[in-house]
Structure 1
Amino acid sequence: MIVRYWQPLTEIETMRRQFDRVRNDLTTTDSAQTAWAPVIELKDVNDAFTLRVQLPGITAEDLDIQVSRNAVAIAGEHRQESEQSNNGTVRSEFRYGKFHRIVRLPAVVQNDHVQAEYKDGILNLTLPKVTEARNQVVKISLGKPDPAISSSELAAEAGE
């Protein structure tokens, strides 16, 4: 009699590969119509946020950017060059079509002072924070107040 050990991890791995093949077959046949969204990078730099968005192959005319006090909405379309060039394509993983992305901001910004730059497929937005949302440094005295230091000097030391 042959003793055969059951290895569930091997069977699970086989099923995972089969599911991946089915998923790839379904997505590669209609990849041109699949919705997509650009990737972002949001940084907090003291008095402002910087938002970087990767938009390769998209012209500035195909972008619509709207900034509210607490969110940024970016919409646009990545157009395919021409239908004639598609005849020779064997496989394409490029995403074409319209996209819409809303980025919520962690603090309120001055949406009327936003600066934008679009270069080499990267959109850079500088979103200045409102004064109340900025990190303000306040010096706290634990002992008795020093009579030689005035309140205006304290404000100057704190960077205000």
Structure 2
Amino acid sequence: MALMRWNPFRDIDRLEPFREIDTLQRQMNRLFEELMPTTNGGEGIGFGFVPSAEMEETDDVIRLKLEIPGLESKDINVEVTTDSVSISGERKSETKTEENGVARSEFRYGKFQRVIPLPSQIQHEKVEAEYKDGILKLTLPKAEADKQKVVKVNIG
């Protein structure tokens, strides 16, 4: 038995499914391009970036850390409810025009927002925040009802 390389374009009648796949791929690429970060001065649809988060839960508190480098604390907005945290802000571009009018940047600029649901109810009026070296640290004390929460499990 000899092996042959398959060429889908050998038979023109077989091309139709591949045209549909190619059309679908182009549509998906356009969708992702619209959602990718924009560096064109805010034109078009897109997000600047989504900060990475890390959460730790103890008996008394939930500790949340977010990586938001390149901002000052005044540029970060934190809103807390009893069951979620919303962090938003904007990283402003400082790009200067290079020679021949071409400027390149791999940094991500623009607005960001992240809403993080919390695993327990918290005392939202007692939240503490610290922002240092690009890391936002939130200490979220748990509500008294959740601290004392004991669930009896029936064994059948």
TM-score bin, normalised by smaller chain: 0.5 to 0.7
* Aligned equivalents of 2:129, 2:98: Cα separation in 1: 33
Larger of the two Rg values belongs to structure: 1
> 1:146 matched to which residue of 2?
none
* Aligned equivalents of 2:79, 2:37: Cα separation in 1: 30
SS at match of 1:106: coil
Deviations 1:87-110 (CA, angstroms, capped at 9, x unpaired):
5644x3321011111111011000
Query: What displacement does 1:61 show?
Result: 1.1
Question: 1:4 and 1:97, CA in 2 relative to 1: closer, same or farther beyond 3 A?
Answer: same
Residue 4 (1) aligns with residue 13 (2):
no
Query: What displacement does 1:135 show?
Result: 5.5
Query: What displacement does 1:31 show?
Result: 3.7
- The question of whether the paired residues in 2 share the 8 Å contact of 1:31 and 1:93 is answered with no
* Aligned equivalents of 2:5, 2:92: Cα separation in 1: 54
TM-score (norm 1): 0.63
Residue 121 (1) aligns with residue 109 (2):
no
Question: 1:66 and 1:85, CA in 2 relative to 1: closer, same or farther beyond 3 A?
Answer: farther
> 2:89 matched to which residue of 1?
76
Runs ≥4 residues deviating over 3 A: 82-90, 135-138
**Aligned residue identity for 2:130:** E
TM-score (norm 2): 0.65
Q: 2:72 aligns with which of 39, 59, 69?
A: 59
Q: Tell me the percent identity.
A: 35
> 1:44 matched to which residue of 2?
57
For structure 1, the 5+ residue unaligned runs are: 8-18, 139-160
For structure 2, the 5+ residue unaligned runs are: 8-24, 152-156
SS at match of 1:108: coil
Query: What displacement does 1:30 show?
Result: 7.0
Question: 1:65 and 1:134, CA in 2 relative to 1: closer, same or farther beyond 3 A?
Answer: same
* Aligned equivalents of 2:149, 2:80: Cα separation in 1: 25
Query: What displacement does 1:46 show?
Result: 2.0
Mapping 1:15-30, distance limit 5 Å: none
Query: What displacement does 1:137 show?
Result: 7.2
